[in-house]
């Protein structure tokens, strides 16, 4: 049972990576031919998302050791930069304006491919940066009994951070520069019905993405495990 899980996870990540790679190649080929003036994916947001993925990797590594100081440091950095990955989903708001600025059919096709690549990248990074939540829940027996509930709350926490950054213009590093501004903006989120509505919307969206991913993994795992091993796996993972 333990040996099948890495193989299954590797298969899914390989599938996602290959699709992203093929789309990227097609996009670059078309872009080199058409050379549209707007061909600039949100590089800054993508760089911060990669930084968040780096902190995720480091935190996952330090979760395996006993150093609480290292866990706290990298756990804080992972949690601080986590919403930046989900922030990439909000870049879709720029699509209508860029669509109207693009006159040719080939340019609009490239525009759609650009956002398809960006959102595919966002989904891959989003699923990866959520891994520490599941790892921590599995390590804490009190949380493990209500694993699904804590995963749902985790996605709403990410949604809260995403809306805070997108509409309150709060970046991760502002917490170190001007913490009072972050506190005021965070409190304002609870008195704004519009921002609360957006938080609920993104929370539901992120839960749909993450639990769809979990369902796909579990169905793949069911085809590889024997009935007895599957029952033992469900008992250890909470279903």
Element (H, E) at 222: helix 193-222
C-alpha 46, offset from chain centre: 12
The percentage of the chain sitting over the pLDDT mark of 90, rounded to a whole number, equals 9
**∠ Cα 69 73 76 (to 5°):** 135
Tens digit of pLDDT for each residue in 157-198?
999 998 998 888 887 878 888 888 888 888 988 888 999 999
SS (H, E, C) 86-119: HHHHHHHHHHHHHHHHCCCHHHHHHHHHHHHHHH
Query: 200 or 30, which is more confident?
Result: 200
The model's pTM = 0.71
Concatenate the DSSP letters of all residues of 131-170 into one string.
HHHHHHHHH-HHHHTTHHHHHHHHHHHHHHHHHHHHHS--
Tens digit of pLDDT for each residue in 117-157?
888 888 888 888 888 888 888 777 767 778 888 889 999 99
**∠ Cα 123 126 131 (to 5°):** 130
* pLDDT in the model for residue 2: 44
> Residue 224 contacts by C-beta under 8 Å, 6 or more apart in sequence?
4, 7, 8
When the pLDDT of each residue in the chain is averaged and rounded to a whole number, the result is 78
Task: Report domain extents, the chain.
Answer: 4-237
């Amino acid at each position: 049972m333990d040996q099948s899980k890495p193989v299954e996870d590797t298969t899914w990540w390989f599938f996602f990576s290959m699709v992203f790679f093929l789309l990227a190649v097609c996009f670059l080929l078309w872009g080199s031919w058409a050379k549209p003036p707007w061909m600039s994916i949100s590089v800054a947001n993508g760089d911060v998302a990669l930084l968040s993925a780096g902190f995720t990797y480091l935190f996952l590594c330090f979760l395996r050791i006993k150093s609480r100081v290292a866990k706290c440091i990298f756990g804080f950095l992972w949690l601080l930069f986590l919403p930046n990955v989900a922030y990439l989903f909000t870049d879709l708001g720029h699509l209508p304006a860029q669509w109207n600025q693009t006159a040719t059919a080939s340019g609009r096709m490239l525009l759609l491919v650009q956002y398809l690549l960006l959102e595919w990248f966002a989904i891959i990074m989003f699923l990866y940066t959520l891994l520490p939540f599941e790892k921590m829940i599995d390590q804490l027996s009190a949380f493990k009994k209500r694993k699904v509930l804590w995963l749902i709350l985790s996605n709403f926490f990410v949604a809260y951070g995403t809306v805070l950054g997108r509409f309150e213009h709060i970046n991760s590093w502002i917490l170190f520069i001007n913490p009072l501004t972050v506190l005021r903006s965070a409190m304002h989120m609870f008195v704004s019905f519009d921002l609360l509505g957006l938080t609920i919307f993104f929370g539901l969206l992120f839960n749909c993405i993450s639990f769809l991913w979990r369902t796909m993994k579990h169905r793949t795992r069911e085809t590889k495990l024997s009935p007895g091993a599957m029952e033992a796996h469900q008992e250890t993972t909470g279903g």
